[in-house]
Amino acid sequence: MATDDTRTVPHGECQIEAWGQSVEAIRSQVVAPACGVSDSVEFDAAASRNQGSSTTVDALSAGLKWVPSSATLETALGTFAVGAEAGVFWARDAQRGWHGDSVAIAALTSLAIGPAWNLYANLFTTRSLTDSTHSNGLRMAVAWQPEPRWLLFAEGLATRGSKTIGNAGLRFWAVPDTLGLDIVASRAGSGAVAVSVGLGWYGLRLP
């Protein structure tokens, strides 16, 4: 999901997520590792490239996610949690080489309704480092896990001044809680449909 949850990688562990996307004959690939700095803080990074790029990697990002244990509350509906994340993004092009592209911060919320349903919402703001403009947006998702090996989700991604994007996908746990296989379909306001296929490898112990 593009909508982030309020879980963090456990302290001393890492994970790697990778996916490829195809939309209107344009392909891109992303690798996104993350590690638990503490039980409540996660370090995230990502590297990506687009098909036809003159460089192997043309975008990088790094950030931190913070979900304090004190920010979890048991309610009549289920377990509610809040957190925050911040990140910086770099891009590379033929004219300027590597340069700062943008910075972003987001407020994260989640609600676990029983063992099978989860609701997520992210309120975010992004500042362009090129022209100092700001954009605000909202990501919302619902996830359903009918049985331990399958997860299905749908989400909407809205950014002020842009058309809403809708995603729907599923995950199959080939190795429960360790190796997940994903397929996601996305539809932008223009009507273009993108399909991405990916995997996640979790529970990697730091030396």
Q: pLDDT tens across 34-72, in order?
A: 999 999 999 999 999 987 655 688 999 999 999 998 999
In a domain, 94, yes or no: yes
Range of the domain at 106: 69-205
What phi, psi does 69 have (nearest 5°)? Answer: -65, -25
In a domain, 47, yes or no: no
Q: In CATH, what number is assigned to the domain containing residue 168? A: 2.40.160
The whole-model pTM stands at: 0.89
In a domain, 75, yes or no: yes
pLDDT > 90: percent of the chain = 76
In a domain, 174, yes or no: yes
In a domain, 29, yes or no: no
In a domain, 21, yes or no: no
Task: Give pLDDT, residue 126.
Answer: 96
What is the tally of structural domains in the chain? Answer: 1
In a domain, 83, yes or no: yes
In a domain, 13, yes or no: no
Closest CA to 106 of 59, 140, 78: 140
